[in-house]
């Protein structure tokens, strides 16, 4: 074999190994590939990040009971959220606007509507769970929807101590606490 052919093969082998390494690194990164499919992993721990004991949430922010003013929630009948992979984004009422996975304050015995908009075109739903990580009631969850901009409303939710969490069933990054107040 000539020196030229041997150098050529060495170069091709090096380029091939480099390309393979880059390709493997891209496949293992878990990043969005930009074509509407998702590369994600789920954890088994529930991933709650709305806290009431002063611990930092996933965004590094602290939310404690003393930060929440129940009076700001007295006239609220509808909770509006935007669903994206990073979490539920608060839209309305004002106390949750712009917050990720905000703690929601509901008054026991009152009826609420949860309206949410799909913000990223991935499959999401909203469900209300108890402290055991179970759906509180069969009627307290919506079907998955994945069309960006589509809106769903979960109507007729009567606030009770049993409701502790709202979340998107397939995405544990989309979860927040529900705080029940007495009237």
Q: What is the domain partition of the chain in residue ranges?
A: 53-181
Q: Does pLDDT of 129 surpass 80?
A: yes
Segment 7-18 shows an average pLDDT of 52
91 membership: H or E segment, kind and range: strand 87-92
Predicted confidence band of residue 9 (pLDDT cuts 50, 70, 90): low
Report the C-alpha gap between 49 and 30 in whole angstroms. 21
Give the chain's radius of gyration (CA, Å): 23
3-state DSSP call for residue 38?
Answer: coil
Which two three-digit tokens encode residue 80? 């509006």
pLDDT, tens digit (0-9, with 9 covering 90-100), for 73-95 = 999 999 999 999 999 999 999 99
Second CATH level (architecture) for the domain 53-181: Sandwich (2.60)
Least confident piece of the model among 60-69, 90-99, 165-174? 60-69
C-alpha distances out from residue 88 to 23, 26, 60, 145, Å: 32, 28, 16, 15
C-alpha distances out from residue 129 to 40, 44, 55, 126, 154, Å: 23, 16, 21, 10, 14
Of all residues in the chain, the percent with pLDDT exceeding 70 is 64
Global confidence as pTM: 0.67
Q: Which residue has the higher pLDDT, 41 or 131?
A: 131
Segment 99-108 shows an average pLDDT of 98
């Amino acid at each position: 074999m000539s020196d030229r052919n041997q150098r050529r093969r060495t170069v091709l082998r090096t380029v091939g190994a480099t390309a393979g390494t880059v390709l493997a690194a891209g496949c293992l990164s878990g990043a969005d590939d930009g074509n509407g499919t998702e590369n994600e992993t789920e954890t088994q721990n529930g991933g709650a990040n709305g806290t009431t004991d002063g611990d930092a949430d996933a965004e590094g922010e602290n939310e404690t009971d003393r930060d929440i003013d129940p009076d700001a929630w007295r006239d609220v009948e509808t909770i509006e959220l935007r669903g994206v992979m990073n979490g539920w984004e608060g839209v309305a009422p004002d106390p949750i606007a712009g917050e990720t996975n905000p703690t929601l304050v509901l008054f026991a015995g009152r009826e609420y509507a949860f309206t949410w908009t799909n913000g990223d075109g991935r499959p999401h739903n909203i469900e209300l769970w108890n402290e055991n990580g179970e759906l509180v009631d069969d009627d307290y969850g919506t079907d998955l929807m994945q069309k960006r901009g589509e809106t769903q409303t979960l109507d007729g939710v009567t606030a009770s101590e049993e409701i502790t969490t709202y979340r998107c069933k397939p995405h544990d990054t989309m979860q927040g606490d529900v705080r029940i107040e007495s009237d």
